[in-house]
Structure formats: structure tokens, C-alpha cells
Amino acid sequence: MRSLSLLLTGAAAAMLAGCIHVKHTDPVAPQISGTVTRAGLPVPGVHVQLVEAFDDAGAPLPDAEKDEVVTDGQGHFTVGPLYRKAKRVDLHTVPWGLRLSADDKTWHAGWLSDPAMLGVVPQAPVSAMCDLAVDSKTSAIAGDLQVMGKGPCILQLIEKTKK
């Protein structure tokens, strides 16, 4: 029993000293739950993709982290969060965003974060209301005014319940 305690104490000391590499990840996109509608009516079967980084033309980078879901019968979806082991620092990319597709072939921006906000990721889950009948517009995530983006989706922080 004493040798197990010594082993565990030694391992803990080595980790604290940096002798043992412990993998960690950085958040690159928040969890987003929302609804896709068209003029107020839910749209089922829409592909919703959360992507870590886009190129200047709005296409996902080839090695970007992604998560994709399809809206249910009421147009609801939950996607993400995304994590990356190494930070991407490239001023020629657009950081995280949502994109939408009715046919899984033609994609449209749902909400792309402002390129000037590279690396800024909300610390709480986000809700989204995406109306396919609305033109793209610039907006901040309600509740987190430091994160700006553009698209037909309106994003808002989901308040964490306090215990």
C-alpha cells in the first residue's frame, strides 16, 4: 500500500513539474442548440455544420474540426462544441461558424464569426434562431458582446443555471 502511495505521489509531482505531457484541448467553437425556420415555420432535414475555421471565401479549411447534424421534425438541432489540441493562428481565416444546407451539397453561411475575433469562443452554450427567409446581417452574440458575426442566424448565450 505504501509503494502505491509513493508511486501516485511521484506521478503527481512529475505532472506538476511538467515531466509528463498531459494532453489538453482548447475550445474552438461553442455548443450551439437552435431551430431552423423559414418565415417562422420549422424546417426539418436541414444539415447544420459547426466548423472551426473557414477560408476567405467561406469554405471550411481542409483540416478544420467539424460537427454536423440534421434538424429534426421541428427544425431543432444541437451541434458542438469543438476542441483542437493545437491552436490555429492564421490571420487569413475566418474563425468558427455555422453553415446550413438543405441538400448536403449547397452550403450557405448560417453565422460566421468576425475574422477580427480570431480565437474568441463563448464560454457558455449558445442558442440559435436561423430563419432561411432572412438576409444575412451582422450581429453580436446576445450576452457576449465581444463576439460579432454575420449570417441569418441570431445567436444568444444560454445562461448556466446556478446551483
List the domain boundaries for the chain: 24-157
User: What number is the average pLDDT over the span 83-90?
Assistant: 63
Render pLDDT for 95-116 as a digit per residue (tens, 0 to 9): 889 999 999 999 988 998 877 7
Q: What is the pLDDT of residues 121-152, one digit of tens each?
A: 888 899 999 999 988 888 888 876 667 888 99
Is there a contact between 94 and 51 (Cβ–Cβ < 8 Å)?
no
What are the CA-CA distances from residue 14 to residues 1, 4, 17 (Å)?
Answer: 20, 15, 5
CB 27 within 8 A of CB 13: no
What pLDDT does residue 66 have? Answer: 93
Average pLDDT of the chain to the nearest whole number? 80
Res. 68: pLDDT tops 80: yes
pLDDT of the residue at 136: 85
Check residue 32 and give its pLDDT. 95
pLDDT value at 41 more than 80 = yes
DSSP bridge pairs for 151: 137
Q: Which residue has the higher pLDDT, 19 or 58?
A: 58
Give CATH for domain 24-157.
2.60.40
Give percent of the chain above pLDDT 70.
72
Q: Which residues contact 91 (CB under 8 A, 6 or more apart)?
A: 115, 118
**Distance (Å, whole) CA 35 – CA 17:** 47
What pLDDT score was predicted for residue 148? 84
CB 155 within 8 A of CB 141: yes
Phi-psi sector, 13: left (phi>0), alpha (psi -120 to 50), beta: alpha
Nearest to 158 by CA among 30, 43, 72: 30
